Amino acid sequence: MFGVRGTGDTSGYGRLVRPVTHPDSASRPYGGYFDDVADALSAALSDTGLSLDDAIERVDVAHDELTLHVRREFLQRVAQRLRDEQDLRFELCLGVNGVHYPADTDRELHAVYPLLSITHNRRIRLEVSVPESDPHIPTLVAVYPTNDWHERETYDFFGIVFDGHPSLTRIEMPDDWVGHPQRKDYPLGGIPVEYKGAQIPPPDERRAYN
């Protein structure tokens, strides 16, 4: 498993390839409280002159989760309404997760925001997709201040640029590090990782396998 030579992949997992399929956009009724969330968000956005179809590209319902795919230019407005409207009250954003889909042309980089309503005991997700050639997404730090370090980590590992972030710098990799290690086109192994304050050897040099 760990005897790969000549490929740059020293992780042992280079041959594990799974096709990525995205579900079709869901249609009403979504089920459960998901319809109530969509109705409340639609009403809240209409007060600002924006329709739900303008702001939301698609809706996914899978694994008992509601995901709203938001157009990036409307992300801050949608997040603000989700946080502040009494019928929504998603007070807590649990960070932002980067995802890299190299085959998703012009939408290779995704940012996923899990939201929690403490008031109503509800969970949903927001997702924004951008191309590698233009990896810019508006920051949500003004709406959810706890996203500060999460956005820095996603920038560090995926290269997504959060416009308006108060200090968008690397948070784990050295400041002069080239590349973004959690993208799928990044080499697996063979590169010593220099975390701030420590130097970690590449996987093939960490231990011996007999």
Report d(CA 193, CA 114) in Å as an integer. 29
**Amino acid identity, residue 151?**
E
Query: Would you list the domain boundaries of the chain?
Result: 34-205
Listing DSSP states for 152-168 in one string gives: HHHHHHH--EEET-TT-
Query: What three-state secondary structure class fits 83?
Result: helix
196, HSE (Cβ side, Cα atoms, 13 Å) = 9
Residues 6+ apart with CB under 8 A from 17: none
Confidence at residue 1, expressed as pLDDT on a 0 to 100 scale: 45
Q: Label residue 175 by pLDDT band (50, 70, 90).
A: confident
Q: For tokens 């231990």, what's the residue?
A: 207
H helices within 30-146, ranges in order? 34-46, 52-55, 75-84
Weakest mean pLDDT among 9-13, 133-137, 168-172: 9-13
- DSSP state, 24? P
**Taking a C-beta distance cutoff of 8 angstroms, is the pair 48, 41 a contact?**
no
Confidence at residue 41, expressed as pLDDT on a 0 to 100 scale: 97
Q: Quick one: CA torsion of 160, 101, 6, 2, rounded to 10 degrees?
A: 100
**What top-level class would CATH report for the domain 34-205?**
alpha beta
**Amino acid identity, residue 169?**
T
- The pLDDT tens digits of the residues spanning 189-198 come to 666 666 666 7
- The pLDDT tens digits of the residues spanning 48-58 come to 899 999 999 99
- The pLDDT tens digits of the residues spanning 65-91 come to 999 999 999 999 999 999 999 999 999
Percent of the chain with pLDDT over 90: 69
**Taking a C-beta distance cutoff of 8 angstroms, is the pair 125, 99 a contact?**
no
- The pLDDT tens digits of the residues spanning 99-152 come to 999 989 999 999 999 999 999 999 999 999 999 999 999 999 999 999 999 999
- DSSP state, 193? B
- DSSP state, 146? T
